[in-house]
Structure 1
Amino acid sequence: MSSNNPKGKTGKILLLIVLVILLVGAGVFVGLNWNTWFGEDTPQGGGLTTDENAEDWTGEQDVYEGEKNTDTIDIPGYGSITLKADSAEQSVNLYNPEQNTCYFRMTLLLSDGTQLWQSGLIEPGKGIYDITLEQTLVTGTYEDAVLKYECFAMDDAQTPLNGSEIKLTLNVIN
């Protein structure tokens, strides 16, 4: 004698639905924690390292004599930067002001988004004087270039902070 018990079928379907929900939930949980459990010890900021070319900044800058304010980030502005034509090796004067309490990573971009250069992390009070461009530029004026500042907390997590993009002109001369 065969019996078609509707309660048995409903119970099996309900059990299957609950099992699927549990499996999906477990998959999401494992996915969110995978790097913590099995990944490399990569900080949130991508495991960035300090820039080996950064040195004590000796250029002219306003000397701040008050307390460091961890709620603000001072970003230097530039109206223009002068570069040598047809040369990857360039002399610049870029820095992270001493009063900041965060790292900078600076990126120089053309107006179309082409990356010319990117630093490692620059500590407060350090500057970059020599850079190597990813491509050379011909003589000319490059309007609306961008010096992008990405800021990161000075902790193990290198938590990203607010940044800025400064529009400037690249004057490329012989």
Structure 2
Amino acid sequence: MSTVLITGSNRGLGLEFVRQYLDKGWKVLAACRDPQQASELIELSNTDNVELLKLDVTSEKDINALDRTIDHLILNAGVLGDDCAKLGEMTQSKWLEVLNINTVAPALLIQALKENVAASEHKTIVGISTRVASIGDNGSGNMYSYRTSKAALNQILVSAAKNLADQGVKTVAVHPGWVQTDM
């Protein structure tokens, strides 16, 4: 049975990924900061195919404790950084929080799980990115921390693709389109 690890699986896209992978018969490792508070995720976990994992993506201890063979690693956890989006409201601490969650955490997850993914059948790492990370598609400005954090994520995925190619690992940055979620 193929296995997927999905970060930020308690709401929005992550929760929908859990549903979709379950429908396809995959083993789902559903990771989020507080699984006990994720009521919709708990409802989906009434099957042997779902394992709820407590994972704070900003915790290296949590990241380094993961040790499973993973066919698809879905780097979904993220924040929009609404309070760090415009000139006049940015602070270093707000910006660093967005970068830590959207950029540093995915890089550390790839680093910690690269061998686990390489040992799998599918060998795929997916980063949930966005079109607004495109320099050429920035027609409105604003969204400073979100845009830059996702542009950096895209670079991480390109570098990982090059570094892990000899192990057969593929990476992809996905723009899911605009979806109405809590984010």
TM-score (norm 1): 0.30
**The structure with more radius of gyration:** 1
TM-score (norm 2): 0.29
Structure number with the higher strand fraction is 1
Structure number with the higher helix fraction is 2
